[in-house]
Chains A and B, each alone.
Chain A
Amino acid sequence: MKWKMRKCPKDNIYTFKDTCQICGSKTVIPHPSRFSPEDKYVKYRIELKKGITLNC
């Protein structure tokens, strides 16, 4: 199913539109992506978020 709900990450406002009507920034789909307890790529996700290479 195609998600219709959008949310402005700055103003926390829900809308259908692709841009926020208050700040004009791009809205995002608020629903989280799929998660598996196995979570194979957790290390790479942390590295990407922090911008560093983990050596542990």
Chain B
Amino acid sequence: MLPIGIENATKIMNYISKGGKEYVCVMQVHCEYNKEELAKIISSFKGEIYQRPPVRSSVKRRLRIRRIYDIEILDMDKKLVLLRVNCDSGTYMRKLCHDIGIIYGCGAHMRELRRTRSGIFTESTNLVKLHELSEAIYLYKNCKDETELRRVLIPMEFATCEIPKIVIEDSAVNALAYGAQLAVPGVVAYQNFKKNDTVAVLTLKGELVATGNALMDSEELENAKKGIVVNLSRVFMQRDIYPKAWKKHES
């Protein structure tokens, strides 16, 4: 499972990839093991762990702290152990298996790996195989049937479902697309958020306009008459989709 953003939605991938991950992996231990002892060692990995990225990795190899939220043994068979791991993004499963092997004393390595959840996207609800994507594209291109493609591609607004939202007036949308700040009068509705939280700015129809960091709490916003609400970091809305609603200052 790997969420992929296309075209404009590539911008939102930053928010998606930071979410927690869930893996199912097959670990092969290099000796006959005692089930209870190994289970004890594996459960001791729950919590914060230190991990140095492996030799072949795309990040700087310095020791980092990652949290394992849950680690569960699903099955055991001879030298193999089937694990389900819930962890932070940036945790290397191969390294985790290796470390378990070192602590057990005879070494271990990862044999198979499958990511079953990435942030809000889970295997059972959102997983699409490349074959299915290819079929959907074929049906769309040759049969003008887009139902399958619409099932496979989901709107990027889906990715904002865990972020607090601010709904703004239609008249403010194009101004934001041109780089204006979001001020209090433009806000129509909002969910609760704290200062510095990441918030998503939506139109009345629920289209994603931008994301950014809140400059005030939602309680503060309730009483505010003017001022800037959000420090926008990413603007998704294209220019001139919404009509221009501001007056040009004539000098």
A interface residues, Cβ below 8 angstroms from B: 1, 3-5, 12-17, 30-33, 35, 37, 39, 42-43, 45-46, 49, 54, 56
Contact = CB atoms under 8 A, between A and B. Distances in A.
A19 to B, nearest CB: 13
A56 B142 contact: yes
Question: Main secondary structure on chain A at its contact with chain B?
Answer: loop
A31 B76 CA distance: 19
A33 B98 CA distance: 27
B112 A33 contact: no
Nearest to B24: A14
A5 B130 contact: no
Nearest to A4: B26
Across the A-B interface, the 3 shortest Cβ-Cβ residue pairs: A56-B143, A35-B130, A16-B77
Interface string B139-172: 1001110000000000000000000000000000
Contact of A5 (B76, B82, B124): B82
Contact of B124 (A12, A16, A37): A12
B74 interface: yes
Contact of A4 (B112, B124, B129, B144): B112
Contact of A32 (B77, B129, B135): B129
Nearest to B123: A12
B138 A42 contact: yes
